[in-house]
Amino acid sequence: MNIKINVDEKPEVTHVSIAGELDIYTAPELKKVFEPVATDGTKNLHVDLKGLSYMDSTGLGLFVGTLKDLNKNDKELRVTNVQPRIMKLFEITGLRDLMYITKYPEGEEIEK
């Protein structure tokens, strides 16, 4: 199981692209990227999931914790290019209603 993470820092937003699988084994690697952005409180976080092929409950938990930290600082978590299979996880858990999500391929945006 592997994950590839690319980070692009901008003055007001950090863009993160994820490819591969997000699960109990790879989540700690992504947490190292998300945590400083979320707890710093100075930037929004935009995450591109175009290359993400699998996500389990550990990955969902990481998004929940990151969202909570960002909300404390009035910052947003925006998730783009969500594959249909992964979108279903966001919908079932109710997370789709708590964050900004754009379906894959880029198109209709679902606002919180």
d(CA 82, CA 22): 13
pLDDT digits (tens, 9 = 90+) for 15-45: 999 999 999 999 999 999 999 999 988 899 9
Q: How far is Cα 27 from Cα 104, in angstroms, rounded to an integer?
A: 22
83 closest CA partner among 1, 20, 14, 5: 20
| Average confidence score pLDDT of the chain | 90
Alpha carbon 10 to chain centroid distance? 17
Domains in the chain (CATH in brackets) are 3-110 (3.30.750.24)
pLDDT for the residue 112: 42
The per-residue pLDDT for 102 is 83
Q: Looking up tokens 């909570």, which residue turns up?
A: 68
